[in-house]
């Protein structure tokens, strides 16, 4: 039995896929190899019953489902250098673009609710706080639908992980920041606007632009590599492997320095925890994938530190 190293994506109960490599015989039936594959992915084959899983072949985001487990990957013209074997859990699925856009829509809807509820007390600073937030999430929805190229085409809308994502945006950002900033009792104390606030806005917008620029670098890199991974360059990618996370964190720090209340600070703190975890995970995947060709000086998230 000859084995070939292939890429495997585990999206079982996950919003964002985890990718790894393993050895598999391309000419042997998948039914004979699945228990070992699931074990190598860190999944218990007895808990993740094969009948509850969808097994897919991802060819540059073109998805083909394997329904006959007695077939082999070679029958699907599987190329180990470009194709990916992908596992998902069966259930109600919605497109990644819809699910992510729905999460980003939360702060927009809730902020507008507070705006129209208390429009008579809005001052210039509150208008700026509102506009900066709406602009950010409108930008994120645009990027979700027209910039990002998703390796996982569908999300489980009713999973606990997706509930956590919507809670993060709808409640932690939308409601908490909205209430503590725009509610009638809190808005009256948020009207001071000096040069430090204007400086915070300037750097916030600069970070937002560089965040978008990093996303475009990743998009163009994937397109130029026919959907495969590459090592990005430019716009802080020479220092960190996740420049887009770095710039987003910086933009939220600047937003906090402009808004200056505890709920915005809390959001920045949880954003740091979330993005640092994702950045380190992606950084380690890239190191394993590229091996010795991956630059050793790169950090995952914060230049020279993390």
For residue 305, being part of any structural domain is answered with no
230-239 pLDDT, tens digit per residue, is 899 999 999 9
Residue 306 lies in a domain: no
100 part of a folded domain: yes
Which candidate, 56, 108, 107, 111, places its Cα nearest to that of 83?
A: 56
User: What is the count of structural domains for the chain?
Assistant: 2
Residues 64 and 104 occupy one common structural domain: no
CATH of residue 45? 3.10.20.90
Q: Could you say which of 69, 90, 111 is where a domain stops?
A: 90
Q: What pLDDT is recorded for position 224?
A: 87
Name the one residue in this structure whose structure tokens are 């632009």: 209
Residue 211 tokens, joined: 């965040």
* Helix intervals (H) in the chain: 30-40, 96-117, 124-146, 160-166, 176-182, 184-187, 195-224, 243-259, 262-290
For the chain, which ranges sit under pLDDT 70? 1-2, 12-18, 47-48, 61, 151-153, 227
Q: What is the pLDDT of residue 39?
A: 80
Which tens digits make up the pLDDT trace of 253-279? Answer: 999 999 999 999 999 999 999 999 999
Query: Is residue 117 in some structural domain?
Result: yes
Residue-number span of the structural domain to which 36 is assigned: 4-90
Is 303 among the domain residues?
Answer: no
**Spatial separation of the C-alpha atoms in residues 64 and 173, rounded to whole Å:** 37
- The pTM of the full predicted model, rounded to 2 decimals, is 0.79
Query: Residue 166 region, left (φ>0) first, then alpha (ψ -120 to 50), else beta?
Result: alpha
């Amino acid at each position: 039995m000859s084995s070939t190293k292939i890429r495997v994506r585990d999206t079982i109960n996950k919003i964002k896929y985890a990718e790894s490599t393993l050895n598999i015989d391309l000419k042997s039936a998948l039914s004979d190899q699945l228990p070992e594959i699931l074990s190598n992915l860190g999944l218990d084959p007895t808990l993740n019953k094969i009948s509850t899983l969808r097994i897919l072949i991802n060819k540059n985001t073109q998805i083909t489902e394997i329904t006959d487990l007695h077939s082999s990957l070679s029958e699907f013209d599987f190329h180990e250098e470009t194709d990916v074997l992908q596992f998902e859990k069966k259930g109600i699925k919605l497109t990644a673009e819809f699910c992510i856009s729905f999460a980003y829509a939360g702060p927009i809807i809730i902020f507008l609710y507070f705006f129209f509820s208390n429009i008579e007390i809005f001052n210039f600073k509150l208008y700026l706080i509102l506009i900066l937030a709406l602009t950010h999430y409108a930008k994120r929805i645009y990027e979700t639908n027209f910039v990002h190229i998703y390796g996982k085409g569908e999300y489980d809308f009713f999973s606990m992980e997706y509930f956590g994502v919507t809670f993060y945006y709808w409640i932690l950002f939308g409601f908490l920041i909205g209430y503590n900033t725009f509610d009638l009792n809190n808005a009256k104390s948020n009207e001071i606007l000096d040069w430090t606030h204007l400086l915070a806005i300037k750097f916030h917008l600069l970070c937002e632009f560089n965040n978008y620029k990093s996303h475009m670098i990743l998009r163009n890199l994937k397109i130029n590599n026919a959907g495969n991974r590459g090592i990005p360059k430019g716009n802080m990618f020479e220092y960190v492997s996740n420049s887009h996370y770095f710039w987003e964190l910086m933009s939220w720090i600047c937003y906090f320095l402009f808004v200056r209340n505890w709920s915005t600070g809390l959001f920045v703190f949880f954003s740091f925890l979330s993005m640092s975890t994702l950045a380190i995970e992606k950084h380690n995947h890239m190191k394993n994938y590229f091996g010795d060709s991956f630059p050793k000086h790169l950090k995952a998230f914060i230049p020279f530190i993390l």
